[in-house]
Amino acid sequence: MRIVLVGPPGAGKGTQAAYLAKNLSIPHISTGDLFRANISQGTDLGKRARAFMDEGRLVPDEVTIGMAKDRMSQPDALNGFLLDGFPRNVGQAEALDEILRSESVELDAVLDLEVPEDEVVKRIAGRRICRNESAHVFHETYNPPKAEGVCDTCGGELYQRDDDSEETVRTRLEVYHTQTEPIIDYYRAQGLVVTISALGKVTDVTERAMEALKRSEEG
Ligand SMILES: [Zn+2]
């Protein structure tokens, strides 16, 4: 299957992408991984991306599209893939269509993870990270530490990343609404969109997604 995963920040997209890719035996292609791999391998696209990032500028779509195209042409992706973070605007979606057309293949589904906006803010703004080890993650409501502000695992001080402040989350949501949400309409016109609720336990959401994908394949 060839799937695009979309959803606002805080929808648990990365986690779901990893589970779904594993269940479906297809590679999980995330924009974050593409950037990291191209930059660490020093590819031409990686060098170009680096130059923009070093200047604090946005990486142009053509660079991101180039990286995605290279990755989709690798042997493990020939029979399917799950895209996470790409396309992130209508221009990229059109470029993806063109790439797929040139390979005479099509997308099977665009899985849209839906989360109410206030829930997104609560999920992200409640995160607390340990200063000693960023893998020690807590949540004010969903996974509170035993003592406020102190890491259960190592006793380190817990803090909120700048990226996770309510103000930043609202800005990220705004960017999502204006840039990324229009691709849902773009794909809806192609009859590809499958929307599921991303609320609840991670395993329940994965199950819901698998069911919805199966139904869309049959329908
Ligand atoms: Zn810790």
For 56, the domain range is 2-115+181-218
Which residue, 81, 68, 57, is CA-closest to 32? 68
CA distance 134 to 121: 20
| Count of structural domains, the chain | 1
The pLDDT tens digits for 86-131 are 999 999 999 999 999 999 999 999 999 999 999 999 989 999 999 9
Is 204 within a domain? yes
* More reliable by pLDDT, 29 or 14: 29
Q: Which is catalytic among the residues 71, 122, 123, 127? A: 127
User: Please, are residues 3 and 20 in contact by the beta-carbon 8 Å criterion?
Assistant: yes
In the reported structure, the alpha carbon of residue 163 is separated from the centroid of ligand 1 by a whole-number distance in angstroms of 19
Indicate if the pLDDT at residue 219 is higher than 70. Answer: no
Is 46 within a domain? yes
The pLDDT tens digits for 180-213 are 999 999 999 999 999 999 998 889 999 999 999 9
Is 157 within a domain? no
Is 122 within a domain? no
End-to-end CA distance of the chain: 15
Provide the pLDDT for residue 200: 87
172 flagged as catalytic: yes
The pLDDT tens digits for 106-118 are 999 999 999 999 9
Q: Look up the pTM and report it.
A: 0.87
2 flagged as catalytic: no
Query: What CATH number does residue 213 fall under?
Result: 3.40.50.300
Is 66 within a domain? yes
Residues bordering ligand 1, an ion, CB closer than 5 Å: 130, 132-133, 136, 151, 153-154, 156
Is 170 within a domain? no
Is 144 within a domain? no
CA distance 82 to 27: 6
201 flagged as catalytic: no
Q: Which is catalytic among the residues 69, 88, 170, 208? A: 88
Is 135 within a domain? no
